[in-house]
Structure 1
Amino acid sequence: MMLRELLERQSLIVAGLMSGTSLDGIDVAIVRIDGCGFEASVKLLHFESFGYDAQLRERLKQLCSLDQSNVALLCGMNFAIAERFADAVFKTVAAAGMNMEDVDLISTHGQTVWHIPVADEADAFLPKSTLQIGDLSVLAKRTGRPVVGDFRTADMAVGGQGAPLAPYGDLILFRDAVKGRILQNIGGIGNCTAIPGGLSAADAGRLIAFDTGPGNMVIDQVVYELSGGKLTYDANGAWAATGQVHEELLRAMLAHPYFEQLPPKTTGRELFGKAYAAAWLAEAARHGLPPEDIVATATAFTAHSIAGSYRHYVFPHCGIAEVIVSGGGAHNQELMRMLRELLPEQTVSTSDDFGFSSDAKEAILFALLGNDWIHGVPNNLPSATGAERPTLMGKLAMP
């Protein structure tokens, strides 16, 4: 498809790709999008998820660690991950009973390996910056389709933190004429979007959005270590449900300075990754906790950091009737139980209850971002990222 034809179309079929900080795999959502901006309408045509194998996941963890990463690994993985993105798109298109020619556009988040939301004042060579790998040209050439990606850098270039980006799509898909809602994604990192009831697109500055802290990241790493590498996550929260939360250790975890920072704010593996989990496990061992109590406390850490963020930064500013959870954490029944217990005045459900798969939601959101790039519509939310102004995020690679 020539670029001119693509720019003139009002209805596009877009393959949205998401690979998050949990490093668990690649999500692909094929959607039909009619229109653009806040008036866009979306229909999910097909969704597939492809888990990273154990070796790839551990290499990515290396890449996200200051003491284990190297430039050769970074260079190679930029292409290697793009090849896996392409394979995931081919498989999803085939599973949908479609041909690649049916897909107008691919829109990809890329795989985040490092994120510096605040400049290091002591080092002029560490400005506010971010890096997502999965080369756009490799993906475009392999699939034969135009690719839009690398969204975060444009927001940072106009003073934002490059995240969270999900609130833009949350506002399009979930705003309600009456009810105040929080959209809580629980991937590797948790992020929330608080949308006051009756919010219009013109009043989007009233939206509140930020990263709440660890989502599945600490839980997953703890489970991996305690199981000797046999498990990569706590399926349905079953292990946590057998343990008791250690309140003293939980209070110490919640004293992390990140939770005192005012929004907008973002975080990632640089704060709550493998090194953090190792130090936390050592502290749990000092307390003599059995494995089930460790997993239960790590799960409570995520739940309390989410609910505490709401109490400090959301509830004082807008009434919230519903909390709608998506991402892998929506499947953790013990985590969901804890959230319901901590939020008795809100209804806590999942995005599945609103017609959007909790697994597919973020991939759908990135399809929306790519669609708006094609239409030239600014697709960041300064109220969420701290940017100085709305801007058009994304870069294009042609096949």
Structure 2
Amino acid sequence: MSDATSDARRRRGCDSEEVGERTVVGLMSGTSLDGVDAACCRIRRDGEGPRGYDVSVESFVTCPYDAAFRERIATACGEAGTVATACELNVALGAVFAGAAEDAADAAGLSLADVDAVGSHGQTIRHVPEPQSLPVGDDRLRSTLQIGDGSVVAERTGVPTVADFRTADVAVGGHGAPLVPFADIALLADDTCFRVAQNVGGIANCTALPPDPTRGDVSAFDTGPGNMVVDGVVELLTDGERTYDRDGRLARAGTVDEALVEECLDDDYFRSEPPKSTGRERFGRAYAREFLDACRARNLSDEDAVATATALTARSVADAYRRFLPRPPDEVVVSGGGAYNPELVGMLDDAVDAEVRTIDQYGVGADEKEAVAFALLAAAAMDGVPNNVPEATGASRPVVMGKRCPPQ
């Protein structure tokens, strides 16, 4: 890009008072570790709060990780991860994210010079939502770590980048999760309908949107495993040849072990009150191995094991609604990779007393929503608008999440 164009874009990206509309690329790499989702969005602000933002998706791309790189990230997320690995991946993922942002701009018929900002979730490699004792006074603090450095993204793209969103919320006592409620309000809040936005990624999280909500009316939390246990079981059963149950075919061919589902739902996590969040540390590979061992002890077939894991996701979502929502929702809007698993969506439809739809019916693709959310979160950060929802995260107050990284 030319120096003049670059300078103009940088000024426009950082001068929020004069910007009514931005082109923002949102980047998401989630707990499933399958790749980077990138959404190029046109975002206009014409009001206050999250409902003051209007978004249209100009393009969406997914940049999958190859098997070796995915395994390196998975290792970094586990107990075998080292500081050296995290350090190297912090820069390597920044470069991957920058490439995904360029691909999304290109898919929208734009160059990076046309992009005003990039919003990057980063890659979570450690999330510790329960307060821990630290060697600094008497404080017990939560912690979280996302890698894929925003400065690397900014320098490689030449675009102002907002990254590392979770830590601002953690700094004021929150879980740093879930982050998507701001976007859920913008995209799905309705004046008359009690709607739940249910994302099913590696972890499943819900945002309860009462009619005509303000941020104080909204609740959100991680309901438990989304695709993570299903994916982990499939990967173990196939020795890594498959990483997920395509179209729910294995689950459809199996029979759910109801007793095992009930036993799993006795986990303390499902009973604990929101705000709460979870991740790979709790429902990752070790949990999938223990789950499969339990299936083997019951002489379940491979298909039965996958069906039972799928039922665990659906039932844990429904159980969370019964426990923690003020009343049954009118609609459940499903997004994330789980929206493409018809067996999971069908089980969820059977388990909840509500109309279950996928988010595609509301103008956003099921795979797109979380990347779109980080475009919105970045736009709000550039505007200086608080973009956490304290009722969801447990934070003591609203804050502007996201660190701004200008290109040098």
| Aligned equivalent of 2:345, options 320, 324, 336 | 336
Find the counterpart in structure 2 of residue 102 from structure 1.
114
- Looking at structure 2, the residues matched to 134 and 198 of structure 1 have their Cα atoms a distance apart, in angstroms, of 36
**Do the aligned residues in 1 keep the contact of 2:322 with 2:328 (CA within 8 Å)?**
no
Tell me whether 1:320 sits opposite 2:329 in the alignment: yes
Find the counterpart in structure 1 of residue 160 from structure 2.
146
- Looking at structure 2, the residues matched to 226 and 129 of structure 1 have their Cα atoms a distance apart, in angstroms, of 33
- Looking at structure 2, the residues matched to 26 and 369 of structure 1 have their Cα atoms a distance apart, in angstroms, of 17
- Looking at structure 2, the residues matched to 16 and 366 of structure 1 have their Cα atoms a distance apart, in angstroms, of 5
Structure 2 unaligned blocks of 5 or more = 1-6
| Aligned equivalent of 1:50, options 53, 60, 63 | 63
1:126 Cα deviation after fit: 7.6
The code of the aligned residue for 1:322 comes to E
Q: Secondary structure at the match of 1:276?
A: helix
| Aligned equivalent of 2:282, options 235, 260, 271 | 271
| Aligned equivalent of 1:111, options 123, 128, 143 | 123
The code of the aligned residue for 2:109 comes to G
Q: Secondary structure at the match of 1:138?
A: helix
- Looking at structure 1, the residues matched to 218 and 12 of structure 2 have their Cα atoms a distance apart, in angstroms, of 35
Q: TM-score, normalised by structure 1?
A: 0.96
Find the counterpart in structure 2 of residue 167 from structure 1.
181
Tell me whether 1:60 sits opposite 2:73 in the alignment: yes
- Looking at structure 1, the residues matched to 269 and 363 of structure 2 have their Cα atoms a distance apart, in angstroms, of 33
| CA gap 1:102/1:298 in 2 versus in 1, 3 angstroms | same
1:208 Cα deviation after fit: 1.3
Question: Which aligned pairs between 1:23-102 and structure 2 lie closer than 5 A?
Answer: 23-35=33-45, 37-38=49-50, 39-66=52-79, 68-102=80-114
| Aligned equivalent of 2:379, options 363, 371, 383 | 371
Find the counterpart in structure 1 of residue 19 from structure 2.
9
Residues 188-222 of structure 1 deviation map (CA, whole Å, 9 limit, x = unaligned): 000000011122x3xx2121110000000010011
Residues 270-324 of structure 1 deviation map (CA, whole Å, 9 limit, x = unaligned): 100111111211221111211000000000010000000001101xx14511000
**Percent identity of paired positions between Structure 1 and Structure 2:** 48
- Looking at structure 2, the residues matched to 144 and 288 of structure 1 have their Cα atoms a distance apart, in angstroms, of 56
Q: Secondary structure at the match of 1:34?
A: strand
Residues 125-158 of structure 1 deviation map (CA, whole Å, 9 limit, x = unaligned): 9831100000111111111111001010000111
| Aligned equivalent of 1:244, options 235, 238, 255 | 255
**Do the aligned residues in 2 keep the contact of 1:196 with 1:318 (CA within 8 Å)?**
no
| CA gap 1:312/1:272 in 2 versus in 1, 3 angstroms | same
Tell me whether 1:261 sits opposite 2:261 in the alignment: no
The code of the aligned residue for 1:35 comes to R
**Do the aligned residues in 2 keep the contact of 1:116 with 1:127 (CA within 8 Å)?**
no
Tell me whether 1:232 sits opposite 2:243 in the alignment: yes
Tell me whether 1:395 sits opposite 2:403 in the alignment: yes
Q: TM-score, normalised by structure 2?
A: 0.93
Residues 25-47 of structure 1 deviation map (CA, whole Å, 9 limit, x = unaligned): 11100001111632111111111
The code of the aligned residue for 2:369 comes to K
Q: Secondary structure at the match of 1:244?
A: coil
**Do the aligned residues in 1 keep the contact of 2:161 with 2:406 (CA within 8 Å)?**
yes
Find the counterpart in structure 1 of residue 4 from structure 2.
none
Q: Secondary structure at the match of 1:118?
A: strand
Q: Secondary structure at the match of 1:50?
A: strand
The code of the aligned residue for 2:340 comes to H
The code of the aligned residue for 1:173 comes to L
Structure 1 unaligned blocks of 5 or more = none
| Aligned equivalent of 2:29, options 1, 10, 19 | 19
The code of the aligned residue for 1:43 comes to S
| CA gap 1:217/1:195 in 2 versus in 1, 3 angstroms | same
1:336 Cα deviation after fit: 0.5
1:86 Cα deviation after fit: 1.1
**Do the aligned residues in 1 keep the contact of 2:134 with 2:141 (CA within 8 Å)?**
no
Q: Secondary structure at the match of 2:42?
A: strand
